[in-house]
Amino acid sequence: MRGLVCALLIAGTGVSAQTVTREEGMAAWERIFAAASHPRCTNCHVGAQEEPMWEGLSYGTGAVHGMGVKADESRIGAESMPCRACHITAAGRDVASPAAPQIDEAWQLAPVELDWLGTDSATLCAMLRDPDRNDGHDIAGLVEHLESSPFVAWGFAPGPGRSKPPGSVEDMARDVALWGAAGSPCE
């Protein structure tokens, strides 16, 4: 089954299955982890705390989102203050820091099960390759998510004055495909 998925994936990304070794897969994973564990991603990939983070963004270690913001159980702030009160839903607005970023989707936290904050490489790797724990994505789904999500796109182009994870959306999508083609190795 995995082989089929990989073949499909690779067809879409130009990666040749025969060329992907386990070592190359692990190297791809390390690059994926470097991006996924960047505060730009983990700040919204928080768990049950319902509180976005402002970690590592000049606000200091362990900083939570200012203003006591809570995204609530709804993950969009519906029970208190909707995220979109400040994070306007709009396309093409390259909002500079420190104003609130805008994307063409309702601003929200990632699903509660995708709790990446403080997660080590092996744990996150195991989570991401398991559709039961990664919001139902197989490798192809992950690639598609990366390539189509306005959140991911914004994360790699967060606007003037904001730090960004290493690489690009394309790099990360290719690395996920590579990693998948190598059998999603975690160690």
Partner 1 sequence: MKLTVNGKEHEVDVEDDMPLLWVLRDELGITGPKYGCGIAQCGACTVHVDGIAVRSCQLAAGDLEGEVTTIEGLGTPEAMHAVQAAWVEHQVAQCGYCQSGQIMQAASFLDLNAAPTDDQIDAAMSGNLCRCGSYPRIRAAVKTAARRLQGV
Partner 2 sequence: MGRIKTIARRSFLIGSAAIVGGVAFGTYMYKRDVANPLEADLGEGAATFNPFVKIDADAVTLITPRADVGQGAYSIQAHLIAEELDVDLDTVRIEPGPPSPAYYNGVVAVEGMPIAATSETMLARTGRGAANVVGKLMGLQLTGGSTTVPDMYERLREAGAVARETLIAAAAAQTGLEAGTLRTESGAVVLPDGVRLAYTDLAATAAETPVVEEVSLRDPSTWRHLGKPHMRTDMVAKSTGTQDYGIDLRMDGMVHATTRTNPALGGGILGFDASEAEAMRGVQAVLPITGGIAVVADNTWRAFQAAQAVACDWGDTPYIGDTALQFDAVATSFVEDRQDSRFKDEGDVTEALAGADVMEAEYRIPYLAHAPLEPMSVVVKLSDGRLDIWTGTQIPRFVQAGAASVAGLEAEDVYVHVLMSGGSFGRRLEDDYVRQAVEIAMQLPDTPIQMVWQREEDMTHDFPRPLAIARARGLASDSGVQGYDLSIAAPSVAKSSLARLGQPAMGPDVAIVAGAWDQPFAIPNYRVTGYRVPAMVPVSSWRSVGASGNGFLHECFFDEMCHSAGLDPLEERLRLCTHDVSRKVLEAVGEMSNWGSDPGAGRGRGLAFVLSFGVPVAQVVEVMDTGDGIRIDKVFVAADVGRVLDPVNFEAQVTGGVVWGLGHAMNCELTYAGGVAQQDNYHAFEGMRLYQTPQIEVRGLENGTKIQGIGEPGVPPAAPALGNAIFAATGQRIREMPFSKSVDFV
Q: Judged by CB under 8 A, which stretch of 24-32, 53-61, 84-92, 150-158 contacts partner 1?
A: 84-92
Closest approach, Cβ 98 to partner 2, in A, equals 4
Residue matched to tokens 């190598």: 182
Compute the distance between CA of residue 18 and CA of residue 184 in angstroms, rounded to an integer: 15
State how far the Cα of 187 lies from the Cα of 175, in Å rounded to an integer: 16
> Which among 104, 187, 186, 120 has a CA at the least distance from the CA of 152?
104
Supply the DSSP symbol for 75: S
Binding segment toward partner 1, per CB under 8 A, in 10-18, 36-44, 96-104, 171-179: 96-104
Residue 119 interacts with partner 1 (CB under 8 A)?
no
Q: Under a CB-based contact definition with an 8 Å cutoff, are residues 164 and 41 in contact? A: no
Asked whether position 88 contacts partner 1 by CB under 8 A, the answer is yes
Binding site partner of 81, from partner 1, partner 2, none, Cβ cut-off 5-8 A by kind: partner 1
- Among 45, 75, 84, 174, the residue binding partner 1 under the rule CB under 8 A is 84
Q: Which two tokens stand for residue 132?
A: 């039961």
Site for partner 2 in 53-112 (CB under 8 A): 62, 66-68, 98
Nearer to partner 2, 12 or 66 (CB): 66
Calpha distance 178→25 (Å, rounded): 6
Query: Please, what sign has the CA dihedral across residues 57, 61, 62, 66?
Result: negative
Give the binding site for partner 1 (CB under 8 A): 66-70, 72, 77-82, 84-86, 88-90, 93, 95, 98-100, 102
Give the binding site for partner 2 (CB under 8 A): 62, 66-68, 98
